[in-house]
Amino acid sequence: MIKKLRVDHRLLHGQVAFSWTSALNVDCILIANDSVMKDELRKTTLKMAKPNGVKLVMKNIEDSIKAINSGVTDKYKLFIVVESIADAAALINGVESIRALNLGGTKATDKTRNISKAMNVTPEEEDILKNLVDKGVDVTIQMVPEDTAVPVMKAL
């Protein structure tokens, strides 16, 4: 069962590893990211951030979609973390059962605008988010479980 899909450019770190896994009572974290699968140092770093008692799986986006749709992840209380809004959209479009998206944090660049404390989006990402909302996906911004979830359209 998918408990949450989250965009966080840092992927797995203290906030995700402990606050969210505890609040969601998950037993498996899926890092869905194409570049991580090509970077042994990043994989090792992510493994070190994993909380005790929680399984960590890392797959590229395509394999993540296949695994979820095959039912192999159904036995887990699954927390999926992706690095970008585009990756989240790919998962949502590829997995019918994902109907909600949590936005945690994305990097600020010269092409982004800040829409919350840690969320920075490009015009293209704004379009993606609007399209997801139009399709009925519940998209909210929430850094930590204790924060109130803000509907993304309110921030845009």
Q: Which of 34, 39, 37 is nearest to 83 (CA)?
A: 34
| Residues 55, 97: Cα–Cα separation, whole Å | 21
Residue 84 corresponds to which tokens in the numbers above?
Answer: 């970008």
For residue 9, indicate whether it is catalytic. no
Residue 125 corresponds to which tokens in the numbers above?
Answer: 């990402």
Determine the Cα angle at 121 with ends 32 and 149, to 5°.
Answer: 75
Determine the Cα angle at 16 with ends 128 and 29, to 5°.
Answer: 85
Catalytic option among 13, 43, 66, 99 = 13
On whether the CB atoms of residues 155 and 142 are closer than 8 A, the answer is no
Active site residues: 13
